[in-house]
Chain A
Amino acid sequence: MENGFSSPRNDSFPAGLRVLVVDDDPTWLKILEKMLKKCSYEVTTCGLARDALSLLRERKGGYDIVISDVYMPDMDGFKLLEHVGLEMDLPVIMMSVDGETSRVMKGVQHGACDYLLKPIRMKELRNIWQHVFRKKIHEVRDIEILEGIEFQMTRNGSDQYEDGHFLCGEDLTLIKKRKDIESRHDEKDIGDNSSSKKARVVWSVELHQKFVKAVNQIGFDKVGPKKILDLMNVPRLTRENVASHLQKYRLYLSRLQKENDFNNPVGMIKQSDSPSSDSNGNFGSQNSINLQDASNGCYGFSGSSLGVHNVDPRNHDGDRKRLVTAPVAEPKRGVTIDPPNPSKPRNSQMEFGHPLAPPQSEVNFARFDFSFPTKYPWCGVPETQLKQEHNPLHLNDGFSRQPMPGQKQLSRADHPQPAPAISSATSSTERQTGCPVKIKPSHNDYTSNANHASAVDSTPLQTKTNMTDHQAVQENQGLNMNCLADLESPRKNINLGTLPFATLDEDLQVCFVAGDYYMNLGLQNIEVQEYFDPGLLTGVPTHLDDGLRFDYEIYDPTEYSLIDQSLFI
């Protein structure tokens, strides 16, 4: 936030750094507060992770860095870490008495900037400002790169992104491209980049929704900061803002995807996130899964045809991934543009590439984006999504069963929307969810996991041939991606109704991830993240639910609706 940074930092950085400390132990809170004050930082202490999150959300840009304990009663430190990273993109430092390598690795995997061992020394605290500084620098650089890439894209047309790597959410790809772009950067006008110190823009829900909408409109593959910016048509928004936001969004999607897929080694998880390790382990721990999903989701979108791997029954994760990947391949994008024509677009979308074939996932994605807008029953979804975790496998199963692996994916794709949107599924969802959502409906039916059902429902993705499930879904969450129903015909196969929820969940989750991701971005809430899971995971809900659930708590229904809009893009 521009406001946040300017005053304290100008005179004598790092003095005046605004730190938020989260720890359940009051003794430590006091000690840390004193230590930080000695470093001339501004300290705020918090005993509960929940409070910390709400504090962060209330005052976006009110803090520069967060220090959190790993073991806390109400929320796992890693989860908090993820939320903060996704919603506010603040550097987070973990600390604990336990200094085992595995723990430290987990921290880093979840995005921690640093891991301190208790007891903490003063000198260790003195240097935390470097993380804040580093992040700032990277942000500016990333934006430039993205700009460059975007520039490239526009110039070269779609070839680049069609390759898939270009737009891959993956950082790796970006990094690679970055190098390329940088080398050919000259013509690009870096003017914007240089201008700043990027003012930190707060991605409000509306803004995020617009963003998601724009992204969907353009087509995930083709998306570029400039295009998004133009579409969003927000006066004070700069390309850098959009670029960095986009990057985060992609990360989120890919992470979610990864979670979903963690079981599936499929390339989907390209994301550098340690999806596999995390996902596997985390499957239960929503966080990781969500990430996976996100990542998976990203995959799908990135066009890098992750290979929408057929929905094999394998873990829902795999499914998720598939969904993600699939979308990319398919030209679904076009679909996204379709206005949520409930009846028709969906079919087209879902079917896009492969009527149920894995591409569906892609399609789903494409679809989600825009179709969901209405659907975002997010509100409802998040809850269900969490549930999804339970069923994580369900989805997959469901999907895998489905003849159309692709379908599953579709469901996934839908999920982005479904999450909150699903509730609105009433009509709009139909269109969108056609693909992914469908799965959900089935899930809902399944709701094997009672939770899932709810979560799943929310994620209209319910692949269940939406139509039928649609109702069911709606019941659950309203997510009813009924829209999907339209598409469903092929999907019906997927209709998870028959399929185990798990499968759907996965698929759905995948979908959601994408959806969630958008939402999150817009919402800036962690909750958004949640969405993905639920939506996507309908099958997977179990793990997602947990993760999501957590977030959802905070998530208010109102946000969901917003997200829907944006997601739908």
Chain B
Amino acid sequence: MERTQLRRQVALTRQSLFDQGFLDEQFIQLEDLQDDANPNFVEEVVTLYYRDSARLITNIEKALEKNSLDFNKLDGFMHQFKGSSSSIGAKKVKAECTLFREYCRAGNGEG
């Protein structure tokens, strides 16, 4: 019973993520890749993503703390982040990255 309930919860959460635009079809692709040989594939990938992006975010924060923003570097970080997020289908993150990059290009520190 609990299991079913949990499963239902998971399914709902997952669906909401899609609805809210947090995830896109890439995530589905990942799910398709999961099979018996790698039952936890998606989990592994997402974990990997979190670890990698945590590191990236730290770098970004450090770069943002500086007085004079190095937009090129930030742009580079964003590109990386964008790539990573697209790998798991993190749509919203990717969109934010794009926006961030626009600001970088414009030299908009406030943005």
Contacts and interface: CB of A to CB of B under 8 A. Distances in A.
B48 interface: yes
Contacts of B87: 25, 27-28, 31, 118-119
A35 interface: yes
Main secondary structure of the interface of B (DSSP, over half): helix
B48 A26 contact: yes
Contacts of A138: none
Given A27-B49, A28-B84, A35 B79 contact: no
B27 to A, nearest CB: 10
B57 interface: no
Interface in B68-95: 76, 79-80, 82-84, 86-89
A98 B45 CA distance: 22
B18 interface: no
Contacts of B80: 24-25, 71
A121 interface: yes
A449 to B, nearest CB: 24
Interface in A22-55: 24-28, 30-31, 34-35, 38
B84 A122 contact: no
| Residue with the greatest number of chain A CB neighbours at <10 A, chosen from B30, B32, B48, B87 | B87
A373 B41 CA distance: 55
B95 to A, nearest CB: 12
B102 interface: no
A27 B29 contact: no
Contacts of B48: 26-27, 30
Interface in B45-64: 45, 48-49, 52
B4 interface: no
B45 A30 contact: yes
Nearest to B27: A119
Contacts of B89: 119
B86 A119 contact: yes
A189 B58 CA distance: 66
A566 interface: no
B44 interface: yes
A35 B52 contact: no
Contacts of A69: 83
A137 interface: no
A440 B30 CA distance: 56
A77 to B, nearest CB: 12
Contacts of A26: 48, 52
B29 A97 contact: no
B12 interface: no
A30 B80 CA distance: 16
Contacts of B83: 25, 28, 69, 71, 96-97, 118
Interface string A67-98: 00101000000000000000000000000111
Given A97-B79, A122-B29, A25 B84 contact: yes
B84 A27 contact: yes
B45 A27 contact: yes
A119 B23 CA distance: 13
Nearest to B35: A38
A512 B26 CA distance: 47
A30 B52 CA distance: 12
B33 A38 contact: yes
Interface centre among A31, A38, A118, by most B CB within 10 Å?
A31
Nearest to A32: B87
9 contacts: A24-B80, A25-B52, A27-B48, A28-B83, A71-B83, A119-B26, A119-B29, A119-B86, A122-B29
